[in-house]
Amino acid sequence: MAGYRKLGRTSSQRKALLRNQVTNLLYNGKIVTTEAKAKEIRRIAESMIAMAVRERDNYETVTVTAKIARKDKDGKRVKEVVDGKKVTVYDSIEKTIKKDSPSRLHARRQMMRFLYPVTEVPKEAAGRKRNTKSINLSDKLFDEIAPKYANRNGGYTRIVKIGPRKGDAAMEVLIELV
């Protein structure tokens, strides 16, 4: 007996389908799909969430000093003349960052290896590339999803049957994060 459902696809198509659907489930919180696909998605999504829950507090906060170019009111870099050359003026600021421990970094890389990159496009400026925003799903898993499930031992997703699909009578389900 196979350890997974083949879903009537080649291995590359199946992996792409599952990656896409798990990415959308974690980004949106719920998706509608067939029952067989939902059961496969559940396996992958729950292992990702379990990994995030296990490593959610495994970091240290570090203060670093960064040099940032000073900008004028138009957003252009401020230049000043030093020894006959134009040189950009930099300001030093202190930032606090989260430094991952090695196990959390490994978990983050495992997630990023599987999940597709997500680009969010705002509705008011849909045609502009400049206004798009790249979403880091591994950060979302660690910062938003994992704390929600900190006191829960598994069972992070729920499958609700909707009914047969009109075209081919396949059982449609709603899979959502609990």
Determine, yes or no, domain membership for 2.
Answer: no
Tokens 């949106």 found at: 28
What crossing angle do the helices spanning 35-54 and 11-28 adopt, rounded to 10°? 60
Structural domain contains residue 4: no
Q: In the numeric block, which tokens belong to residue 151?
A: 């006191």
What does the DSSP 8-state code read for residue 132? -
Cut 0.85: pTM above it: no
Position 5 in a domain:
no
Is residue 3 situated within a structural domain?
Answer: no
Residue 72 lies in a domain: yes
User: pLDDT of 103-121, one tens digit each?
Assistant: 999 999 999 999 999 998 8
Q: Model confidence over 42-96: pLDDT tens digits? A: 999 999 999 999 999 999 999 999 999 998 888 888 888 888 888 898 999 999 9
Question: pLDDT at residue 131 above 80?
Answer: no
pLDDT tens digit sequence for 18-49? 999 999 999 999 999 999 999 999 999 999 99
Query: pLDDT value at position 120?
Result: 87
The answer on 105 and 95 residing in a single domain is no
pLDDT confidence band for 127 (50 / 70 / 90): low
Of the two residues 124 and 119, the one the predictor is more confident about is 119
Percent of the chain with pLDDT over 70: 97
Q: Are residues 86 and 115 in the same domain?
A: no
Contact between 108 and 137 under an 8 Å Cβ cutoff? The reply is no
Is-contact 147 139, C-beta < 8 A? Answer: no
Looking at the domain assignment, is residue 1 inside a domain?
no
- Computed over every residue of the chain, the mean pLDDT equals 92
**Total structural domains within the chain:** 2
pLDDT above 70: residue 175 = yes
- Identify the band that residue 1 occupies on the pLDDT scale cut at 50, 70 and 90: low
109 plus 76 within the same structural domain: no
**Is residue 28 in a domain?**
yes
State which residues form the domain around 69.
59-100
